[in-house]
Amino acid sequence: MANINDFKLLNIKCKSYFNILETQLGKTITVPSEKHKERFGFYLLMLESILNIKDTTELLDMITDQEFNQVVYKKTEDDFGVDAIHIDLDENYINFFNFKFRKDFNPNKEQSVNETFLSTKLTNAIMVGDVSQLSGKTKKLAQEVIDKLNGNEIWKLRLYVISNEAKELNVKSMEIEQLKSLYDFETVAIGLGTISEFMSIRPESVNATIHINKDSILPFSENSLSSSKSYIIRITASDLIRISCNDKGYREDYKMEDFSSLAETKMEYNLLFDNVRGLIVKSKFNENIFTTLKEEPSKFFMYNNGLTLTATDIVSEDTNANKKVKITIRDFQVVNGGQSLRTIHRFNQLDEQNITKYLSECQILLRVFKTSSINNDRNKIAQYTNSQNAISNIDLKSLNEEQILIEQFLDAEDIIYARKVGDTGITPNKSYTHKISMEKFGQILFSVQGYPEKASNQKNKYLTNITIRHLKVKTLIYPLLLIL
Which of 135, 162, 195 is a domain's end point?
195
* pLDDT of res. 428: 63
Task: Look at residue 52 in the predicted model and tell me its pLDDT.
Answer: 82
Q: Specify whether 170 is located in the same domain as 86.
A: yes
Which amino acid is residue 382, in one-letter code?
Answer: A
Q: Per the structure, how many domains does the chain have?
A: 3
DSSP calls for 13-26? HHHHHHHHHHHHHT
Q: Write the DSSP string, 239-257.
A: HHHHHTBS-HHHHH-TT--
Give the Cα separation of 465 and 394 in Å (integer): 9
Integer Cα distance of 248 and 125 in angstroms:
53
**Same domain as 409, residue 294:** no
Whether 201 is covered by a domain: the verdict is no
What is the phi/psi pair of residue 87, to 5°? -105, 110
Would you say residue 203 lies in a domain?
no
The whole-angstrom separation of Cα 210 and Cα 104 is 41
Q: Phi, psi at residue 152, to the nearest 5°?
A: -85, -20
> How many Cα neighbours within 13 Å face the side chain of 185?
24
- Rounded to the nearest 5 percent, the helix, strand and coil shares of the chain are 45, 20, 35
Give the three-state DSSP class for 186.
strand
Q: Are residues 21 and 69 in the same domain?
A: yes
Pick from 153, 173, 195: which residue ends a domain? Answer: 195
Closest residue by Cα to residue 190 from 70, 319, 51? 51
State residue 471's pLDDT score: 44
Same domain (yes/no): 73, 9: yes
Assess if residue 200 is contained within a domain. no
From CA 256, how far away is CA 241, in angstroms rounded?
Answer: 12
Would residue 113 count as lying in a domain?
A: yes
Q: What is the pLDDT of residue 404?
A: 73
Domain residues for the domain of 97 are 4-195
Phi, psi (5° rounding) for residue 48? -65, -45
Same domain, 24 and 167: yes
Specify the pLDDT at position 174.
Answer: 76
Dihedral angle at the C-alpha atoms of 194, 195, 198, 201, nearest 10 degrees? -120
**d(C-alpha 132, C-alpha 297), whole Å:** 56
Asked if 398 and 380 sit in the same domain, the reply is no
Among 384, 416, 435, identify where a domain stops.
384
Judge whether 71 and 29 are in contact, CB under 8 Å: yes
CA atoms within 13 A on the CB side of 220: 13
208's enclosing H/E stretch is strand 208-213
Ordered DSSP codes for 308-330: EEEEEEEEEEEETTTTEEEEEEE
Do 227 and 107 fall into the same domain?
no
- Nearest CA to 79 out of 88, 87, 70 is that of 70
Burial, 33: exposed, middle or buried (Cβ in 10 Å; 0-12, 13-18, 19+)?
exposed
Helix (H) or strand (E) holding 367: strand 363-370
Q: How far apart are CA 433 and CA 415, in angstroms?
A: 6
Per-residue pLDDT of the chain (484 residues; tens, 9 = 90+): 678 878 888 898 899 899 989 988 989 999 999 999 999 999 999 998 888 888 889 999 999 999 999 999 999 888 988 999 999 998 899 999 999 999 998 888 877 766 666 667 788 888 888 899 999 999 999 999 999 999 999 999 998 989 999 888 877 777 777 777 777 778 888 998 888 766 654 557 899 999 999 999 998 876 655 556 789 999 999 999 999 999 999 999 999 999 999 998 989 888 887 654 455 555 555 678 888 898 999 999 988 889 999 998 999 999 999 999 999 999 998 988 888 898 999 899 989 999 999 999 999 999 999 886 544 565 566 555 554 444 445 554 555 667 777 787 787 778 888 776 667 777 666 778 778 877 777 777 767 666 665 555 444 444 444 444 444 434 455 555 544 5
Contact 351, 294 (CB under 8 A): no
Q: Provide DSSP, 110-161.
A: B--HHHHHHTHHHHHHHHHT--TT--HHHHHHHHHHHHHHHSSS--EEEEEE
